[in-house]
Structure formats: C-alpha cells, structure tokens
Amino acid sequence: MTAETEAKDAQERPPRRPMRADARRNYEKLVAVATESFLANGPDASLDEIAKRAGVGPGTLYRHFPTRDDLLDAVCTRWADAVAADAAPLLTAEDPTRALADWLVRLVDHVGAFKGLASALLLNADRKHDTAWILHHASEELVARAKAAGGIRQDVTTSELMTLTSGVTYACGYSKQAGKTVSSPERLIGLIMDGVTTR
C-alpha cells in the first residue's frame, strides 16, 4: 500500500477516540522528528522519511496527520506550547522585574527558534501570526507585571523590548555563524534592562 493510499484511507476514517498511551507516544515522536526534519529540509521534507525516523509506518503518520498541513500545524502548536510552559512560572514570580529580565534572556532563544521555524516552514500569514502571538502575549503580560510593580519605566512598550531582544538574537546568531566572539545574551539583556528599570 502506498503512502498516498494510506493517506486517503486515513482521511475517510471516523473521528478518533482519546489516544491511548502508545498512540500518544507515537504522536509526540512524529511531531519531534517532523520539527527536526522541517527545520533541516524545509516544508517539503519527505513524510515517509519522517515516519521511518520516528519508528512508525506511513499509515500511523497519516492516521495522526491526514495532510501535510496538519503536521505543520502540530509542529507550530508544539513550539507555542513549549513557549507558554516556559513563561508560565515567570508570570507568578515574586519579583516581576527579575522575571521580565529572565524572560528576555529566554526570548533570545525563542525568537531565534521562531524565525527558523517561520523560514523553514514558509508559514503563511495566518499561521505565522498565530505562532508569533504567543511570544508577544507572554511578553506583554510580563511587561505589565513589571510596570505594575514599579520596576520598569511606564513609557517602555512590549514591542520596543521585543525589537531590542530581536537585535540581540540577530547579533548572537550572526556572531556564532561567523565564528566571532560576542557578549552573552545575559550580558546584552542586562544592558537593556539597565536602560528601562526604575531607580
């Protein structure tokens, strides 16, 4: 049976019941392998190869993801969930200003990952907006908490901090590719925070 035939069969099946533990493991493995494969080979990466690397048959892949777009959506959702989980403990931290600084350091990695994801997957406008929203939403909440606590200047906007963080992301990424030494993200974000915190 070809992958195309199995895909058609999968699309004609009725809605699934909640996944068993083994099915959930297969799902997570497929999304993890797909993320690596899409980032390495672009959005046209072989789905059969993804299934093979995940240790499952094509039919299992297509039962979980009837179309390529379904798999792309799952990759984006998994990334967004990881970002949300990373931000969650900071949203209840005792020191909102320290939490914001910690988040901006983490944001360097998240922004870099998102740019790689957007480029590799050739995200359409809607999907790109949806995946970027989680970065801005988490940042906005942390900025609001720091302002409410009087830790940062009231005139500083979330967009400005994200723009500065994107600059740090670019500088660190470029320097790494060029084999040059650059200050650490922690050092650069610390300089940004020096400019926005209240005294």
CATH number, domain with residue 189: 1.10.357.10
Q: Alpha helices, DSSP H only, in the chain? A: 3-12, 21-41, 47-54, 58-64, 68-87, 96-121, 125-148, 158-178, 185-196
- Judged by DSSP in three states, 92 sits in helix
Claim to verify: residue 122 and residue 183 sit in the same structural domain: yes
Cβ atoms of residues 33 and 50 within 8 Å: yes
* Tokens matching residue 20: 């068993």
Residue-level pLDDT at 3: 43
Do residue 171 and residue 184 come from a single domain? yes
pLDDT value of position 154 = 96
Flag residues of the chain having pLDDT under 70: 1-19, 175-179, 181
Q: How many CA atoms lie within 13 A of 68 on its CB side?
A: 14
What confidence score (pLDDT) does residue 59 get? 94
The verdict on 87 and 61 lying in the same domain is no
Point out the domain boundary residue: 66, 93, 109. Answer: 66
Using left for φ > 0, alpha for ψ between -120 and 50, and beta otherwise, residue 96 falls in alpha
137 with 95, same domain: the answer is: yes
Shared-domain flag, residues 116 and 159: yes
Cβ–Cβ < 8 Å for 100, 158 = no
Supply the pTM of this predicted model: 0.75
- Can you give the pLDDT at residue 19? 66
Residues 43 and 122 in one domain: no
**Residue 163 pLDDT:** 93
Contacts of 141 (CB under 8 A, 6+ apart): 87, 91
- How far apart CA 199 and CA 197 sit, in angstroms, is 7
- Structural domain including 140 reads 71-196
User: What is the total residue count of the chain?
Assistant: 199
- Residue 141 and residue 53 share a domain: no
How many angstroms separate the CA atoms of 72 and 125, rounded?
Answer: 14
Position 121 scores a pLDDT of: 80
Q: Looking at the 3D structure of the chain, how many domains does it have?
A: 2
State residue 32's pLDDT score: 94
Q: How far apart are the first and last CA of the chain?
A: 69
Looking at the fold, whether 181 and 106 belong to one and the same domain comes out as: yes
From 39, 66, 93, the end of a domain falls on 66
pLDDT confidence of residue 20: 78
Q: Are residues 60 and 97 in the same domain?
A: no
Of 66, 89, 116, the residue that ends a domain is: 66
